[in-house]
Structure 1
Amino acid sequence: MAPPITLRGSDGIWMVNGPPTLGSRPDFPGETSSKTKVVVFSSDGALIAWCNGESVKVLKTSDYQQLWDLPHAKVQCMKFSPKGSILLLWENYSVNSETQQGNANLHIYNMQSGKLLKSLIQKKQANWDPVWTNDEGICCRNVNNELHFFENNDFDSIKTKLHMQKVSSFALAVSGPPYYVAGYVPGSKGQPSFIRLYKYPNFGGLGAAIANRSFYKAEDVKMLWNNAGTALLALTSTELSDQSYYGDQGLHYMNINGDACLVPRSKNGPIYNIAWSPKSTEFCVVYGFMPAKATLYNMKTEPIFDFGTGPRNCCFYNPQGNILCLAGFGNLRGNLEFWDVKQKRMITQTQSPDTTSFEWCPDGEHILTSTCSPRLRVANGYRVWHYTGTLLQQVLLEQNHELWETAWQPAPKGAYPERPIRYGVVQAPVDVPQPDVKQKAYRPPQARGTEASVKLHEYEAASDPTKKLNPGHTGEESKAAIKNRKKREARKAKSAQEDGQAETEATASVPGGPSLSDLGRPQLTGNPEVDKKIKNLNKKLSAIQKLKEQQQAGKPLEKNQLDKLKTEESLLKELKDLKIT
């Protein structure tokens, strides 16, 4: 079962159930104040906090009992530490009229005691929040062009400092130990900008940096570590350029081994989005003038798969890293492409128009798309999807009611393991209209009623650049290669289907419990991994049937055999989930 969904809008804060039991969640107390500006979860979803314009409420999500009520009415930003032991509150900076001294506006609270640990001054809202590693071993904060480090949530003393002249931003790898940090220094007076990687706490000396990358044409830099903390991507950009309306951009790769290079691109144009795989073994880049190209790279920055071109400007991995969504939002029509990352195969394609927010569910199978204010003030609402393209729920708010934010409740790490990918269509509620993805393109009046048509764009097909091509090959399979591939796939599908049917007939009924026939004959999907799992489940159920027959005949069973009987219900449920409906 998927976790619930939290919504914030002009009606306050409310919560609804996730799939499959979609609907309201009456046990959640909610908030009716229209002054609620921010709501956050802890990373494991155990705590939820919001500010209603009077105070900050902290609740446990297990029973929705209030844990703390903190006296801060003007909080603009909030953040939990990775383990949920600390809550940060940020208010707009102000100056005391009597003393002409700045008021502390960054407050650090201990969530076990509810006590205020420290109040600091943080003038700018940009990059206001300190950054922790996942184990909360160290915490880093940028103060007056210096990086201050704290250990084990002791904010009374600065453990060490990283001195980089005019450092404007940093990125801390969340994994470790050992810990790594990257600092960015913008260029000035003809000098290039640069990024340096350091291993904590070895910051002293000229050779302390383990990697260095310098570049020109960089007014802004976005740095992104992979989950393993072994490599960093840095997207540099300028607002103006003589050659492009979008300015100049560059994508740089650095790792903790000291390697640094420019990520190659096969098409000119802006870089719209970059995303690391949660498995930290690859990354995806969406770039180029429309229709944009999407490319998958390995850890050597070599292209390993080209998704072709299409109307997209975003890429999102699911939490398990086995599905990638390529999307087109903003001035695009909400195109959604779901890809099997391992098989390099498109699962499905659909559209979610007027989408302003996209988020994967922690289970890695469902998606939440929303239309929120102030980006769009009409038709505010949200949609819940399955990655096979099925629209499970669509909720639109009434007129004059605004939706500001939507979010899945996070789940603890490992709560939702990776599951085999299905290529069929899941069953949707009858009353939910499914999107029409085959919409006709616009044609001018003088061209209507005629057979002639004009294509605005010629889309490139997906391809694998790692495969060796014959001389003069265009990148597409030849007719002979396509014919041979189809024959191989047909033989595999036929063999798998015969094996699956034989096993299904052998385990058609299980005395004393639910039967496979109640679930319907398992249908093979054509996906080798899923079909293999279906056959293994049938073998296990067949073994359980034999044990039950022995038990009924009076034969005593061993403890491990009795434990095997207890797994029957879970095996049947898993087999049912693998079916294509």
Structure 2
Amino acid sequence: VIQLTRHLSTVRGSDGTSMLQGVPVCKDDPAFPRDPRQGRVMSFSKDGSLFGWGNGQNEVLQTLDLPKTTMLQFSPLNTILVTWQPYTTADNPQGDSNLQLWDVQTGALLKSLYQKKLEGWSPCWSEDEKLAVRSVNNELHFFENNDFNTIANKLHMQKVSDYILSPGAQPSKVAVCVPGSKGAPSFVRIYQYPNFGGPSAALANKSFFKADRVSMEWNKKGTAVLVTASVDVDKSGASYYGEQNLHYLDIKGEGAVVQLPKNGPIYDVVWSPTSTEFCVVYGFMPAKATVYNLKCDPVFDFGTGPRNAAYYSPQGNILVLAGFGNLRGQMEVWDVKKYKQVSKPQVPDSTHFFWCPDGEHIVTATCSPRLRVSNGYKIWHYTGTLLHKEETPAGKELWEVRWQPSPAGTFPERPVKYQAAPSPLGSTQPTTTQAYRPPAMRNQPATASTKLHEEEAPQDMRPGSDRQPVSKAALKNQKKREAKKASKQEAKPDAAEPHSNSAPNPNSQSAESCGDPETDKKIKNLKKKLKAIEELKEQQASGKTLQKNQVSHPVT
């Protein structure tokens, strides 16, 4: 049954559809009785005032008999409910219309249309619902004021593969992509409705190769678009995942290729809600994450880590970098204004992540069919504190968890906290563990060469920052210092053993100065050479074959 109601966050699974109330004390909402029948689909309206769900047996919005509905969506102002059923020709050789538009208030059917593919199944609306658009046979059909019986305008381009309507106020813009063919490049153009008079009418135009498919995303203000172009096969053979490139395009006609300093796939591209910057997660594992401004210049580099996704809070003041799917579920929570890490919780086996509209709480979930075991969800505070968790009983499945949306401005931005929020469930900050070392290297000093990956530290790339980019030479020297410090720590137990009548250690750094700077310098250099000899002797004793110049040249 698909019904409409007004409530909070929802859970859909094999044991039905339910709604929760309250954070951090979460409990079933008494005003929403749990529907025990399996939920096929559910959806909130954009402002969160309406909620629709279906159980595959019957649909009720007034009374509608659409048991096969698998997709639901509300128009931005809650005027229209869109339902989609899989296209079939079983009962009708020519097929039945499977896309319906319903009046939310009366339940009347406004229009029934054909939509064979699930991709791009729903019309796209402007925020004021004065304009709607859908793709039909390489054409974009535009409708005004929700009159779907009359096509107000058309944009015809050969083989239009993707389009995206801009958010924000009128006039609306639309970005369209046409894939290349016969050696010609693909291109993306931005038009302002209803000015579609050829390429010269486009506000911006950018062409590029290597684009079997694209994904496009507007910023919140509707002033710029990010285009991720992908090919399935990397002809150089460097990547199993194909090849991706990121392009920037704005309504002023400016365009650029976003330069990514590490090779490898692009995992995620997200706009900040402020519309002034965006974050890209990219590169072979361990992946890099970098924030860019509207000039496509890097602002902050988060270094490398096990991550493949990025999530800005609704207010844009917090950024979460996460490693889900085949990664171990590490989350890095960052204060975007200070570029300071807030917390680093561990959420293994997570498949879903959603910010609460208040910008304070997060829900992570393990859902089927991505994972059919250990299903459940957890509600967090961004400081890493676990506030609530729910495990799905054995034999049951969890399919979806959603927060109730809220109108813009409902929750203002709050100062970022660094102290963990109180909770009886505690937090899951990772414990420090010793890195694995092969058996043959366990009796040798730890060095940078024993690391599986070259790790890069975060770098603040803003002009005048105290944390400017670190050169490769500086990073190399830093790693040498860390390795030297580690080797000293490993040698401490031997040095701490008691010795009776032992002579003073000539290598001790605490030796008194003789008063002559030149003599002190010579003594210091001699101690370094003696220490190097001792290290070579230890390596030779452990079975390592030394080079000829390490054993045949005496130190004088």
| Residue 109 in structure 1 maps to residue 102 in structure 2 | yes
Residue 270 of structure 1 and its aligned partner are, at CA, apart by: 0.8
Contact 2:267 2:282 in 1 (8 A): yes
| Residue 147 in structure 1 maps to residue 140 in structure 2 | yes
Contact 2:281 2:288 in 1 (8 A): yes
Contact 1:139 1:149 in 2 (8 A): yes
Residue 17 of structure 1 and its aligned partner are, at CA, apart by: 2.1
Selected match of 1:313 from 305, 308, 324: 308
Q: Which residue of 2 aligns with 1:88?
A: 82
Following superposition of structure 1 onto structure 2, how do residues 34-113 of structure 1 map, counting pairs within 5 Å? 34=38, 36-57=39-60, 68-95=62-89, 97=91, 100-113=93-106
Q: Which residue of 2 aligns with 1:285?
A: 280
Residue 30 of structure 1 and its aligned partner are, at CA, apart by: 2.7
List per-residue Cα deviations over 1:131-153 (Å, max 9, x = no partner). Answer: 11111121110000000001111
Counterpart of 1:246 in structure 2: which amino acid?
Y
Residue 449 of structure 1 and its aligned partner are, at CA, apart by: 8.1
Selected match of 2:169 from 162, 169, 176: 176
Q: Which residue of 2 aligns with 1:334?
A: 329
Q: Which residue of 1 aligns with 2:290?
A: 295
Residue 317 of structure 1 and its aligned partner are, at CA, apart by: 0.4
Selected match of 1:383 from 365, 378, 396: 378
List per-residue Cα deviations over 1:519-559 (Å, max 9, x = no partner). Answer: xxxxxxxxxxxxxxxxxxxxxxxxxxxxxxxxxxxxxxxxx
Selected match of 1:119 from 101, 105, 112: 112
SS at match of 1:79: strand
Counterpart of 1:363 in structure 2: which amino acid?
D
Contact 1:49 1:57 in 2 (8 A): no
| Residue 365 in structure 1 maps to residue 369 in structure 2 | no
Q: Which residue of 1 aligns with 2:18?
A: 14
Contact 2:122 2:134 in 1 (8 A): yes
Residue 351 of structure 1 and its aligned partner are, at CA, apart by: 0.8
| Structure 1 residues 386 and 357: alpha-carbon distance in aligned structure 2, compared to 1, 3 A threshold | same
CA distance in 2, matches of 1:43, 1:466: 36
Contact 2:460 2:469 in 1 (8 A): no
CA distance in 2, matches of 1:83, 1:316: 26
Selected match of 1:456 from 447, 452, 456: 452
| Structure 1 residues 391 and 451: alpha-carbon distance in aligned structure 2, compared to 1, 3 A threshold | farther
| Residue 235 in structure 1 maps to residue 228 in structure 2 | yes
Contact 1:269 1:288 in 2 (8 A): yes
Identify which range, 447-456 or 335-344, moves more after superposition: 447-456
Counterpart of 2:373 in structure 1: which amino acid?
V
Selected match of 1:421 from 395, 416, 426: 416
Counterpart of 2:20 in structure 1: which amino acid?
V
| Structure 1 residues 473 and 184: alpha-carbon distance in aligned structure 2, compared to 1, 3 A threshold | closer
SS at match of 1:56: coil
Contact 1:50 1:57 in 2 (8 A): no
Selected match of 1:467 from 457, 463, 473: 463
Residue 471 of structure 1 and its aligned partner are, at CA, apart by: 11
List per-residue Cα deviations over 1:18-46 (Å, max 9, x = no partner). Answer: 31332222321231112x21100101111
Residue 455 of structure 1 and its aligned partner are, at CA, apart by: 2.9
CA distance in 2, matches of 1:28, 1:323: 32
Tell me the matched-pair count.
Answer: 463
Residue 51 of structure 1 and its aligned partner are, at CA, apart by: 1.5
Contact 1:49 1:56 in 2 (8 A): no
Q: Which residue of 1 aligns with 2:256?
A: 261
| Structure 1 residues 86 and 461: alpha-carbon distance in aligned structure 2, compared to 1, 3 A threshold | same
CA distance in 2, matches of 1:155, 1:186: 28
Selected match of 2:34 from 30, 37, 42: 30
SS at match of 1:207: helix
Residue 445 of structure 1 and its aligned partner are, at CA, apart by: 7.8
Residue 446 of structure 1 and its aligned partner are, at CA, apart by: 3.5
| Structure 1 residues 427 and 101: alpha-carbon distance in aligned structure 2, compared to 1, 3 A threshold | same
Counterpart of 1:78 in structure 2: which amino acid?
L
Counterpart of 1:289 in structure 2: which amino acid?
F
Counterpart of 1:210 in structure 2: which amino acid?
L
Counterpart of 1:44 in structure 2: which amino acid?
D
Residue 71 of structure 1 and its aligned partner are, at CA, apart by: 2.0
Contact 1:373 1:402 in 2 (8 A): yes
Residue 450 of structure 1 and its aligned partner are, at CA, apart by: 6.4
TM-score (norm 1): 0.76
CA distance in 2, matches of 1:83, 1:217: 39
Give unpaired runs (5+ residues) of structure 2.
1-6, 479-556
Selected match of 1:129 from 122, 131, 136: 122
TM-score (norm 2): 0.80
List per-residue Cα deviations over 1:190-243 (Å, max 9, x = no partner). Answer: 111111110110001441111111111111100000010000000000111122
CA distance in 1, matches of 2:101, 2:280: 36
List per-residue Cα deviations over 1:291-314 (Å, max 9, x = no partner). Answer: 111111111111111111111110
| Residue 400 in structure 1 maps to residue 395 in structure 2 | yes
CA distance in 2, matches of 1:327, 1:230: 28
Residue 54 of structure 1 and its aligned partner are, at CA, apart by: 2.0
Contact 1:285 1:296 in 2 (8 A): yes
Q: Which residue of 2 aligns with 1:572?
A: none
Residue 70 of structure 1 and its aligned partner are, at CA, apart by: 2.5
Selected match of 1:199 from 187, 192, 195: 192
Following superposition of structure 1 onto structure 2, how do residues 556-567 of structure 1 map, counting pairs within 5 Å? none
SS at match of 1:70: coil
Contact 1:463 1:475 in 2 (8 A): no
CA distance in 1, matches of 2:389, 2:440: 36
| Structure 1 residues 474 and 201: alpha-carbon distance in aligned structure 2, compared to 1, 3 A threshold | farther
| Structure 1 residues 222 and 445: alpha-carbon distance in aligned structure 2, compared to 1, 3 A threshold | same
Residue 473 of structure 1 and its aligned partner are, at CA, apart by: 8.8
| Structure 1 residues 371 and 448: alpha-carbon distance in aligned structure 2, compared to 1, 3 A threshold | farther
| Structure 1 residues 205 and 126: alpha-carbon distance in aligned structure 2, compared to 1, 3 A threshold | closer
Residue 389 of structure 1 and its aligned partner are, at CA, apart by: 0.7
Contact 2:351 2:364 in 1 (8 A): yes
CA RMSD after TM alignment: 2.2
Contact 2:24 2:388 in 1 (8 A): no
Selected match of 2:153 from 154, 160, 165: 160
Contact 1:233 1:251 in 2 (8 A): yes
